[in-house]
Amino acid sequence: MSSAMIVVTAVQPVAFNPDIRLRTSVRIRVMRFVFSSLLALTLTFVGAAQSLSAAPQHALTVYGEAPRYPADFKHFDYVNPDAPKGGSMRRSAIEIGQFDHLMPFTDKGMGVSQINGMLYSPLATRSMDESYTVYGLVAEKMERGADGLSLRFYLNPKARFADGTPITASDVKYTYELLMTQGNLQYRTQFEAVKGVEVESPSQIRFDFKNSDNRTLPLDLASLPVFPEHWWKTRDFASGAGFEIPPGSGPYRISHVDPGRTVPFERDP
């Protein structure tokens, strides 16, 4: 007959070691110090980011990170300032489609897409060698509110239309309202979160937002062109003003138009 046997082994008590409590206490204090330091660093970074965004800047980024180029940069790294000037380039009408008027900003008919960027310069231009980032052009400075609910543009005092007329904040507001009421449907969708526009001075304008959910909204607004109010207020923008050549603000101007066939752009001296 087999019998089951349970063996109970006595465990020797571990002697109390005061170093264990000391090491534990030191470890806790170190962890608290590290946590406090990280928290302080985070709060400092957030505060700096808010103060940075609340001051006029030469560039805008999506998340408020530092832009690649400083305020005094002369050209983008991918641009060769010593490239030969002059010459000509022809682009097939297939690329731009047949056109029955010039302006490409309305849903009516077919405009010439190259006008945006060639004839008209935007408030700020996008760099091609970093994440969505724009640098002041017609607007020399931009100021995003610390709460993310506003964007202010400070126009470059040297900004002019091709006819010599200064570009003002009224032109910017006029352009925005024109695009929102008579422009492509995409503008009303893209800027639906804009609450209002306020001209603060001839060279300063502020856009207010309904919320701060759309991080790209400020950059999208900065990419808008600026139309000359003094010229367009007597024309029908919705129809594109036919083939009448408007004064632009970009690096090129239209020399003449062969309706439906060619639109030559020449460098604006």
Quote the radius of gyration of the chain (alpha carbons, Å). Answer: 30
> What average pLDDT does this structure show over 125-135?
95
pLDDT digits (tens, 9 = 90+) for 5-42: 333 333 344 454 555 455 555 455 545 554 555 544 44
Share of the chain above pLDDT 90, in %: 59
Name the pLDDT band for 117 (thresholds 50, 70, 90): confident
In the chain, where are the structural domains located? Answer: 26-55, 57-77+94-267
Identify the residue with better confidence: 58 or 114.
58
In angstroms, rounded to a whole number, what is the distance separating the alpha carbons of residues 104 and 241?
11
> What average pLDDT does this structure show over 110-134?
92
Identify the residue with better confidence: 17 or 43.
17
Name the pLDDT band for 142 (thresholds 50, 70, 90): very high
> What average pLDDT does this structure show over 136-142?
98
Share of the chain above pLDDT 70, in %: 78
Q: What pTM was computed for the model?
A: 0.77
Half-sphere exposure of 163 (CA within 13 A, CB side): 10
- pLDDT at position 95 is 53
Identify the residue with better confidence: 179 or 46.
179
Question: Which of 15-24, 157-166, 247-256 has the least mean pLDDT?
Answer: 15-24
pLDDT > 80? residue 3: no
- pLDDT at position 93 is 57
- pLDDT at position 31 is 58
Which of 108, 134, 124, 190 is closest to 159 using CA atoms?
A: 124
pLDDT > 70? residue 96: no
pLDDT > 50? residue 224: yes
Question: SS3 for 207?
Answer: strand
For 57-77+94-267, CATH number? 3.40.190.10
Non-local (6+) Cβ contacts of 122 within 8 A are 137, 138, 222, 223, 224, 225, 226
- pLDDT at position 121 is 95
pLDDT > 80? residue 118: yes
- pLDDT at position 110 is 84
Element (H, E) at 138: none
- pLDDT at position 115 is 87
- pLDDT at position 7 is 31
